Chains A and B, each alone.
Chain A
Amino acid sequence: MAIYITRRLLLLPVLLVGLSLITFVVSHKIPGNPLVAQLGLRGASNPQTVRTYRKKWGLDRSLPEQYVAYVGNLLHGDFGRSLVSQRPVSEDLKQYMPATIELAVASLIVAAVPGLLLGIWAAVRANTVTDSAIRLIALLGSSLPVFWLGLIVLFLLYGRLGWLPGPGRLSPYATPPPQVTGLYTVDSLLAGKPELFWDALKHLVLPAFVLGWSTMGVITRMSRSSLLDVLKTDYVRTARAKGLTPLTVLRRHAVRNAIVPTLTVTSLAFGGLLAGAVLTEVVFSWPGIGQYAVQSADNLDVPGVMGVTLVAGLLYVLVNLLADILYALFDPRIRYA
């Protein structure tokens, strides 16, 4: 297992360089002038301003030169400077990533726990009204547009009923806690401000629910389908015949063997959540990596776009590696060379 993990980690730099090359080439092939986005129409039409800007940002060099310089810096952990924020991309990522991580983890909890439980319940009660109801919930989660759902829950639960707080990570009057991790829930506890913790947690409920429901649908259906297959196997029938209780059969034999496909889907979903959920972030004014990615793309901020792409790629690889490790933990038959 250790060798397997090491091998996967050693492949990371190769993957990232390949990803950076593709992103760099594609970003520079997009027609458009980043100068207009940065300087405004007036500034971008002033030859002197343009000359100064291009020199400052290295845009006067050839593309291969720019790429070589970029990779050279990347190997030192330098993602370059954002044309929009005019500061290191790594600073931008450090600012926006925690908001996304916090939302992604909360969404995963909302998705995975009920998703798995509902999937198990639906499989156990297959072809009954309960099963149909659960499948309907899962279908709605997968098919309702996240943007629409976000606006509706915000309108109902915040705008009309006032049951939950509005957009943002904290209430408008609240001051963010001193940054340690960037996760407001954690940082507020570290700062000894429980009221801020609850405020941050309450603000997580709606966006996590919106994002989580769509992911939950996928997890529910996958766990149901996978468990149904396992419940039909000989060894499960044997376990029942031996007189084991249904809960024991489920817990010791069925679920563990059915979990692998669900883990796959969950890890992919988690990777996607970590890459940023733009629509949810816009509706809930959540300053995460999704918004940063769109802002960078809109403004042709190539360093920003590349930074997000590389980080998202890295996260996907790590999450998939984690999933592979969990497979081995859940299913002893799985061993890695």
Chain B
Amino acid sequence: MPRSAICRALGVLAVALLFAACSSSNNNAGKGSNAGGAATKAAAGGSPVAGGNTAPGGSGKTIIIARQTDLSTLDPENSFCDTCQIYLSAVYQTLVTLKPGSLTEAVGEIARSWDISPDLTTFTFHLDPAAKFANGDPLTSADVKFSLQRLKNLKAGPAFFMDGVKTIDGVDPQTVKFTLEGPDSAFLMKLMAPYSVIVDAKVVQANGGTDAEGADKNDKAKDYLDAHSAGSGPYVLQSWTRNTEVRLTANPNYWGPPPNPQAQTVVIKDVKDAATQRQLLERGDIDVAMNITHDVATQMQKDKDVSVQFVRSYDFLYLEANEKADPRLTKEVRQAIAAAIDYPGLIQATVGGHGIQPSTTIPQGFLGTDLVPPVKTDKAAAKSLLAKGGQPNGFSIKLAYPNQVLYGVDMNVLAQKVAADLAAIGITATLSPLEIGPWGGDYSGGSLPLTLAYWAPDYPDTSEYVSWFGLVGTPGTPSEWLGNVVNDQIVALNKQAAAAADNTQRAQIYKQVIQQMQDASYDIPLVQPDLVLANRSNIQNNVYSPCCNLLLGQLVKQ
């Protein structure tokens, strides 16, 4: 065959590829179709945009965020995930929210003020009369009652936020009263969680939603809420393409509180790989990257067009020792394990030093945690405790863990470090990585004698962690699967804390709880990794929020 014929064929192919690659189309293909808030059919079968063309304060800019999204639904009362927090806090509002820079103080969002009864069983909120939804509907107590009753009665993942709520009453259109079954000093904090947002009751009901008993069977509004928002927040949902992107536009009727939405459009793009996020950020194709790992972040600090910060997060990883699953794990042995871990070395190995050791399985910085120092590494004491616990020669045990990168920590690296530290005192830990589904089932089934695990705040208060890790006897918590272990002292202290209105007093009570938890050592905190905030240098207010992850309403693009 003549060489020229083959050359011609290959040449045509090469030209076609070059033509496609070097085409003059720019990166803003389609941007014009966004600017007017034009109707874009969502892949989920949605209908036109709820928002309008320009928002008060909207700059016409688009902010692109890359993140490994974990969304399964956008229905506020049905969703329970990290990306959900970001979406819900951008599109909806809660009665109260966390004061910037504080972990304990509440400020009003929809509520202008509130009254709390001295016995902490009645919470009355006075709504801001200016509050309204994106479609212009006024936001009233009926919407609050509907939203939070629906949250309770859907019995989905976040339903537990309404545990202990006896009644919700609309006293008048601007006043709503919650009556609780018992005192709850953390109730305000629960109402800050993005899952406690308020939806437009009329719209949701018109689309099959219900807040009545039996909502778990009868509610049909999920599909609607997956394609439309019904909130009062700074943004509205334009479209959601699963595993691709969530697109928000500025709410034209945003009533406050300030700041007004600072961009016309915000897009959360699903990009699973941290290296890919880095490239997109460095090329300027995205503005914020949310899953940059610590080692990648360190390399990115040299780029002057990119800002990388390490900030304290409230996520942590821990080791759980289950005596019921393995009777050798007595209290002394568990304390030995806690003392054997080289915490500074572990933090260096897993997050390059960008993290801290919590004092217990409560995020360091939450109420009471700064009053108790973390456990110190002491291998000599660890060996002595091991002998006291009846295992002077050590033993072999399986160390299970979810085979993932969690909060920037490669669980394989964490497991290897823990195993190495345990080996130094004679405990041979055989690594057993599991996929998240099987791991979760085994973990909550109580069949794992020793496992690594993880936790992030559902709402920013110590009480959540005490109710989960504090061995207070609640069914479905570690208290149950660790062998129905109940610490009566913690139970009593927890009740005291729930009835204490003053945070200083609560902190002192929680100090005692933390000391008890440290002593029991069922759950040994390992590392609270810093969060990496990575964005282009012209982006401002990319800050971490303990309640909501990232507050899109505050992001500014210069």
- A residues near B, CB below 8 A? 30-49, 52-53, 56, 84-87, 91-92, 95-96, 113-114, 117, 120-121, 124, 151, 154-155, 158-159, 162-176, 178-179, 193, 195-196, 198-199, 201-202, 204-205, 246-247, 250, 282-285, 287, 291-292, 295, 297-300
- Looking at the complex, which one of A120, A179, A246 makes contact with B43 (CB distance below 8 Å)? A179
Interface pair B29/A195, CB less than 8 Å apart? yes
Interface pair B436/A37, CB less than 8 Å apart? yes
Q: List the B side residues contacting A168 at CB < 8 Å.
A: 244, 269, 271
Interface pair A164/B21, CB less than 8 Å apart? yes
Q: Check A250/B1 contact, CB under 8 A, given A86-B73, A179-B43, A201-B20.
A: yes
Q: List the B side residues contacting A295 at CB < 8 Å.
A: 243
- Looking at the complex, which one of B17, B40, B437 makes contact with A36 (CB distance below 8 Å)? B437
- B residues near A, CB below 8 A? 1-2, 5-6, 9-10, 13, 17, 20-23, 25-31, 33-34, 40-41, 43-45, 62, 64, 72-73, 78, 80-81, 155-160, 216-217, 222-223, 226, 241-244, 247, 267, 269-273, 275-276, 279-280, 282-283, 285-286, 435-445, 453, 455, 458, 468, 475-477, 480
Report the separation of the CA atoms of residues A167 and B269 in the bound assembly, to the nearest whole angstrom.
11
Report the separation of the CA atoms of residues A86 and B221 in the bound assembly, to the nearest whole angstrom.
12
List 16 interface pairs A-B (beta carbons < 8 Å), by A numbering: A32-B440, A41-B444, A45-B475, A45-B480, A96-B243, A117-B9, A164-B21, A166-B280, A167-B273, A171-B28, A171-B30, A173-B62, A173-B64, A198-B20, A287-B243, A300-B438
Q: State how many angstroms separate the Cβ of A37 from the closest Cβ of chain B.
A: 5
Report the separation of the CA atoms of residues A38 and B442 in the bound assembly, to the nearest whole angstrom.
15
Q: List the A side residues contacting B156 at CB < 8 Å.
A: 39, 43, 49, 52-53
Interface pair A246/B73, CB less than 8 Å apart? no
Q: Check A32/B438 contact, CB under 8 A, given A52-B155, A172-B286, A205-B21.
A: yes
Q: State how many angstroms separate the Cβ of B250 from the closest Cβ of chain A.
A: 16
Interface pair A167/B476, CB less than 8 Å apart? no
Report the separation of the CA atoms of residues A44 and B156 in the bound assembly, to the nearest whole angstrom.
10
Name the CB-closest residue of A to B269: A172
- Looking at the complex, which one of A31, A95, A167, A179 makes contact with B242 (CB distance below 8 Å)? A95
Q: List the A side residues contacting B157 at CB < 8 Å.
A: 38-40, 42-43, 49
Q: State how many angstroms separate the Cβ of B333 from the closest Cβ of chain A.
A: 25
Q: Check A46/B6 contact, CB under 8 A, given A114-B13, A168-B269.
A: no
Interface pair B440/A41, CB less than 8 Å apart? yes
Interface pair A159/B272, CB less than 8 Å apart? no
Q: List the A side residues contacting B453 at CB < 8 Å.
A: 41
Report the separation of the CA atoms of residues A163 and B21 in the bound assembly, to the nearest whole angstrom.
7
Q: Check A47/B25 contact, CB under 8 A, given A32-B438, A37-B436, A158-B279.
A: no
Q: List the A side residues contacting B273 at CB < 8 Å.
A: 167, 282-283, 285
- Looking at the complex, which one of B6, B40, B244, B437 makes contact with A32 (CB distance below 8 Å)? B437
Q: List the A side residues contacting B28 at CB < 8 Å.
A: 171, 173-174
- Looking at the complex, which one of A45, A166, A282 makes contact with B272 (CB distance below 8 Å)? A282
Name the CB-closest residue of B to A285: B271
Interface pair A47/B475, CB less than 8 Å apart? yes
Interface pair A31/B442, CB less than 8 Å apart? yes
Interface pair A45/B477, CB less than 8 Å apart? yes
Q: Check A85/B6 contact, CB under 8 A, given A195-B29, A285-B272.
A: no
Interface pair A171/B29, CB less than 8 Å apart? yes
- Looking at the complex, which one of A124, A171, A204 makes contact with B285 (CB distance below 8 Å)? A171
Q: Check A46/B437 contact, CB under 8 A, given A170-B30, A285-B270.
A: no
Report the separation of the CA atoms of residues A61 and B85 in the bound assembly, to the nearest whole angstrom.
33
Report the separation of the CA atoms of residues A45 and B476 in the bound assembly, to the nearest whole angstrom.
4
Q: List the B side residues contacting A174 at CB < 8 Å.
A: 27-31
Interface pair A37/B276, CB less than 8 Å apart? no
Name the CB-closest residue of A to B477: A45
Q: List the A side residues contacting B279 at CB < 8 Å.
A: 154-155, 158-159, 166
Q: Check A175/B440 contact, CB under 8 A, given A40-B80, A52-B155, A283-B273.
A: no
Report the separation of the CA atoms of residues A292 and B453 in the bound assembly, to the nearest whole angstrom.
25
Report the separation of the CA atoms of residues A235 and B21 in the bound assembly, to the nearest whole angstrom.
44
Name the CB-closest residue of B to A288: B243
Interface pair A33/B444, CB less than 8 Å apart? yes
Interface pair B283/A49, CB less than 8 Å apart? no
Report the separation of the CA atoms of residues A324 and B388 in the bound assembly, to the nearest whole angstrom.
74
Q: List the B side residues contacting A298 at CB < 8 Å.
A: 435-437
Interface pair A178/B41, CB less than 8 Å apart? yes
Interface pair A87/B223, CB less than 8 Å apart? yes
Q: List the A side residues contacting B160 at CB < 8 Å.
A: 42-43, 46, 49
Q: List the A side residues contacting B6 at CB < 8 Å.
A: 117, 120-121
Q: State how many angstroms separate the Cβ of B483 from the closest Cβ of chain A.
A: 15
Interface pair A33/B10, CB less than 8 Å apart? no
Q: Check A48/B155 contact, CB under 8 A, given A33-B441, A159-B279, A285-B270.
A: yes
Q: State how many angstroms separate the Cβ of B470 from the closest Cβ of chain A.
A: 14
Q: State how many angstroms separate the Cβ of A170 from the closest Cβ of chain B.
A: 7
Q: Check A85/B443 contact, CB under 8 A, given A49-B157, A178-B40.
A: no
Q: State how many angstroms separate the Cβ of A304 from the closest Cβ of chain B.
A: 11
Report the separation of the CA atoms of residues A246 and B266 in the bound assembly, to the nearest whole angstrom.
61
Report the separation of the CA atoms of residues A124 and B6 in the bound assembly, to the nearest whole angstrom.
11
Q: State how many angstroms separate the Cβ of B163 from the closest Cβ of chain A.
A: 9
- 7 A-B pairs with least C-beta separation: A33-B441, A36-B440, A32-B438, A45-B476, A174-B30, A43-B157, A32-B437
- Looking at the complex, which one of A120, A196, A292 makes contact with B243 (CB distance below 8 Å)? A292
Sample of 6 further A-B pairs with CB below 8 A, known A41-B453, A121-B6, A201-B23: A31-B438, A32-B437, A33-B442, A41-B440, A173-B27, A287-B244
Report the separation of the CA atoms of residues A290 and B286 in the bound assembly, to the nearest whole angstrom.
25
Q: List the A side residues contacting B269 at CB < 8 Å.
A: 168, 172, 285
Interface pair A167/B10, CB less than 8 Å apart? no
Name the CB-closest residue of A to B438: A32
- Looking at the complex, which one of B2, B17, B31, B267 makes contact with A247 (CB distance below 8 Å)? B2
Q: State how many angstroms separate the Cβ of A251 from the closest Cβ of chain B.
A: 9
Interface pair A44/B440, CB less than 8 Å apart? yes
Q: List the B side residues contacting A85 at CB < 8 Å.
A: 72-73, 242
Q: State how many angstroms separate the Cβ of A83 from the closest Cβ of chain B.
A: 9
Interface pair B25/A198, CB less than 8 Å apart? yes
Report the separation of the CA atoms of residues A91 and B155 in the bound assembly, to the nearest whole angstrom.
25
Q: Check A247/B441 contact, CB under 8 A, given A170-B29, A174-B30.
A: no
- Looking at the complex, which one of A44, A283, A299 makes contact with B276 (CB distance below 8 Å)? A283
Q: Check A43/B27 contact, CB under 8 A, given A32-B437, A52-B216, A247-B2.
A: no
- Looking at the complex, which one of A38, A39, A92, A158 makes contact with B283 (CB distance below 8 Å)? A158
Name the CB-closest residue of B to A193: B30
Report the separation of the CA atoms of residues A282 and B283 in the bound assembly, to the nearest whole angstrom.
19
Interface pair A299/B437, CB less than 8 Å apart? yes
Interface pair A205/B280, CB less than 8 Å apart? no
Q: List the B side residues contacting A121 at CB < 8 Å.
A: 1, 6
Q: Check A173/B31 contact, CB under 8 A, given A41-B444, A282-B272.
A: yes
Q: List the B side residues contacting A154 at CB < 8 Å.
A: 276, 279
Q: State how many angstroms separate the Cβ of A187 from the closest Cβ of chain B.
A: 11
Report the separation of the CA atoms of residues A151 and B274 in the bound assembly, to the nearest whole angstrom.
11
Q: List the A side residues contacting B272 at CB < 8 Å.
A: 282, 285, 291
Report the separation of the CA atoms of residues A124 and B411 in the bound assembly, to the nearest whole angstrom.
53
Among B20, B81, B226, B453, which residue has the most Cβ atoms of chain A within 10 A? B20
Q: List the A side residues contacting B222 at CB < 8 Å.
A: 86
Interface pair A167/B276, CB less than 8 Å apart? yes
Report the separation of the CA atoms of residues A198 and B26 in the bound assembly, to the nearest whole angstrom.
9
Interface pair B27/A30, CB less than 8 Å apart? no
Report the separation of the CA atoms of residues A138 and B445 in the bound assembly, to the nearest whole angstrom.
50
Q: State how many angstroms separate the Cβ of B279 from the closest Cβ of chain A.
A: 4
Q: List the A side residues contacting B226 at CB < 8 Å.
A: 87
